[in-house]
């Protein structure tokens, strides 16, 4: 049972690392921005992009 828990933890860390590597790879890949967005959004454990609403609100406050 302990072995299963250790293996699950290792697989989770591996998945996070793999998602980060793929995220970096797709960020620099010459793909259309919409396709890149869909690929990056489908990655498990990937850092989610900032919501558009928050980005617009923060840029509006920065201008004021």
pTM to 2 decimal places: 0.52
Residue pLDDT, tens place only, 5-57: 999 999 989 988 888 888 888 888 888 888 888 887 887 665 555 444 544 55
Say what the pLDDT of residue 48 is.
52
Are 15 and 35 in contact by the 8 Å Cβ rule? The answer is: no
With the C-alpha atoms ordered 43, 57, 29, 21, is the resulting torsion angle positive or negative? Answer: negative
**Rounded CA separation 28/57 (Å):** 27
Indicate the burial class of 36 (C-beta count within 10 angstroms; 0-12, 13-18, 19 or more).
middle
> Can you give the residue ranges of every domain in the chain?
2-63
Helix-then-strand count for the chain, H and E: 3, 0
């Amino acid at each position: 049972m302990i072995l299963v828990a250790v293996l699950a933890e290792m697989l989770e860390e591996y998945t996070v690392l793999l998602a980060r590597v793929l995220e970096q790879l797709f960020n620099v890949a010459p793909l259309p921005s919409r396709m890149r967005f869909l690929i990056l959004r489908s990655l498990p454990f990937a850092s989610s992009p900032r919501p558009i609403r928050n980005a617009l609100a923060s840029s509006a406050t920065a201008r004021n």
